[in-house]
Amino acid sequence: MAAGRAAELGARVLLLEKMGRVGVKLTLTGKGRCNLTNGGDLPTFIESYRHNGKFLHNVFSRFFNDDLISFFTSRGLPVIEERGRRIFPASSRAQDVVRVLRGYVNSQGAAVQIHSPVQEILTDESRITGVRTDAGIFKTAKVILATGGASYPQTGSSGDGFGMAEKLGHTIQRIRPALVPLEIEEPYVRDLQGLGLKNVKVTLLSDGRKAGEEFGEMLFTHFGVSGPIILTLSGLAVDKLSSARVDLSIDFKPALSPEQVEARLVREFQKHSRKQILNILPNLLPRRFIPVFIQRAGISLAIKGNEVRSGDRKRLLHLLKDWRLTIKGPRPLEEAIITAGGVSVPEIHPSTMESKIIPGLYFCGEIMDVDGKTGGYNLQAAFSTGWVAGEAAAI
Ligand SMILES: Cc1cc2nc3c(=O)[nH]c(=O)nc-3n(C[C@H](O)[C@H](O)[C@H](O)COP(=O)(O)OP(=O)(O)OC[C@H]3O[C@@H](n4cnc5c(N)ncnc54)[C@H](O)[C@@H]3O)c2cc1C
């Protein structure tokens, strides 16, 4: 986006790409469908970044989701809006998004050189003079650093830009995984692999105190938990884990008060007084979860509805409203959807994306210390900052 926009405004542009093709990560986004933005309004967007959403205010006022949608539709790629106002190409193919961007870059006359990892940005007395690659030095007075984060390194985004920016005097906020699955201590989660829970509330507890809460879907995996609400809570979990014990509390019945859940249990056990508890609980919980659940409640699988005592019921109630899981840690950065941390934003002009330290150096995308939740927010931030950086660098 940055290369295309700068070329469109008349700059002579060379896009140096490390991989054998551009946009490798982009082709993986949205499970190959590319959730390229979100239909939400500006305040919703600003709130959707865990770090430095306000920094994007200026950029979004110049190039926002409606501009991005027009950009793609006017180039023959209509979009559709789905649940949560997520916007995808109507073709449901991330490849098409890359194709349009490649077409934009080519049609504006920017040159693209693949297999060209940049190793260093060259400066002379704090002024950009060029970049060094395997193939030699390219002289230039302006560089837009768009190397992305450090997650999914096989896509080419292995964090090279952080070292380059740091060498030029920029502060790099600690790099860490976000939108990442979480590993869980309790060994039984392995037996639940593949089990999805819908309409649950998950609360993140830091040293026992509530730090965050999400409602929706989650999934058990061979190492722990994943799924939309876990990914959303993961960045907060990672940050808290550096100094606290972090647990998850699952509320299986968030729409019901404890009293209502208790009344429901009483009703179920009365109605099915001759049935074994193992065959009553499926009315309340996914079947696969029940053996683990009953074992944790310290109740025999064989007891019947009319044998459940008040103490047993209280324990069941407690577990239905507050099932605890201990977080061991996040999956590695390589498996994270995005990288939190990066180039510190107070060192970047919010209206041009130019470095405040090195004139002629611009940043855009995930290399910056901005991380959004799922729903198209990360790509919109990358596209908007790319557009503005391209524009500013072209002047
Ligand atoms: C599996 C997955 C799914 C995702 N789905 C979505 C989604 O649906 N919606 C959403 O909003 N976000 C999604 N994201 C996040 C989104 O992909 C990123 O935030 C976005 O791609 C960042 O854009 P970028 O241009 O900053 O960096 P990248 O897209 O990472 O691009 C960086 C480019 O720089 C190149 N490069 C790196 N180092 C060098 C070097 N030294 N020299 C030359 N070139 C170099 C890389 O090869 C790469 O082409 C997803 C991420 C992943 C991993």
Residue 44, H or E segment: helix 42-47
* CATH class of the domain at 2-178+336-394: alpha beta
Q: 212-222 in b/e burial notation, b at 16+ Cβ within 10 A?
A: bebebebbbbe
- How many Å lie between the centroid of ligand 1 and the Cα of residue 146? 9
**In this predicted model, what pLDDT tens digit does every residue of 347-392 receive, in sequence order?**
999 999 999 999 999 999 999 999 999 999 999 999 999 999 999 9
Question: What DSSP line would sit under 68-136, residue for residue?
Answer: HHHHHHTTT--EEEEGGGEEEETT--HHHHHHHHHHHHHHTT-EEE-S--EEEEEEETTEEEEEEETTE
Atom of ligand 1 nearest to the CA of 94: 8
How many angstroms does the Cα of residue 348 sit away from the middle of ligand 1? 20
- Domain extents for the chain? 2-178+336-394, 182-251, 258-323
Query: At residue 197, what are phi and psi to the nearest 5 degrees?
Result: -115, 135
Share of the chain above pLDDT 70, in %: 100
User: Please, which residues bridge with residue 368 across strands?
Assistant: 343
CA distance 48 to 371: 9
- Which pLDDT score is estimated for 10? 98
Of all atoms in ligand 1, which is nearest to the CA of residue 336?
53
**CA triple 160-163-164, angle to 5 deg:** 85
Q: 194-211, pLDDT tens digit by residue?
A: 999 999 999 999 999 999
Q: Whose C-alpha lies nearest to ligand 1, atom 50? A: 29
H/E segment holding residue 382 = helix 377-394
CATH number of 258-323: 1.10.8
Ligand 1 centroid vs 96 CA: distance in angstroms? 16
How confident is the model at residue 80, as a pLDDT? 98
Residue 165 confidence (pLDDT): 98
- Nearest-CA residue for atom 37 of ligand 1: 147
* Atom 5 (ligand 1) nearest CA: 29
Ligand 1 centroid from CA 26, angstroms: 6
Ligand 1 center to 340 CA (angstroms): 13
Given pLDDT bands bounded at 50, 70 and 90, which one contains residue 101? very high
pLDDT at 301: 85
CA 173 to centroid of ligand 1, rounded, Å: 18
Average pLDDT over residues 289-294: 92
Task: Output the CA 65–ligand 1 centroid distance in Å.
Answer: 18
Mean pLDDT of 170-198: 96
- Cβ atoms within 10 Å of 337's Cβ, excluding its own: 20
Residue closest via CA to ligand 1's atom 4 equals: 29
Residue of 112, 118, 147 to mutate, ligand 1, most atoms within 8 A of C-beta: 147
Q: 206 CA distance to ligand 1 centroid (A)?
A: 31
Mean pLDDT, range 53-60, rounded to an integer: 98
Ligand 1 site, CB within 6 A: 16-19, 22, 24-26, 28-30, 34-35, 117-118, 146-148, 151-152, 156-157, 160, 337-338, 365-366, 376-379, 382
pLDDT score, position 109:
98
Closest residue by Cα to atom 8, ligand 1, is: 30
- 250 CA → ligand 1 middle, Å: 32
Residue with CA nearest ligand 1 atom 47: 156
For 114-128, what is each residue's pLDDT tens digit?
A: 999 999 999 999 899
Q: Could you report the per-residue pLDDT of 29-52, keeping only the tens digit for each?
A: 999 999 999 999 999 999 999 999
Ligand 1, residue 119: give the atom nearest the CA.
41
For the stretch 231-284, pLDDT in tens is 999 999 999 999 999 999 999 999 999 999 999 999 999 999 999 999 999 989
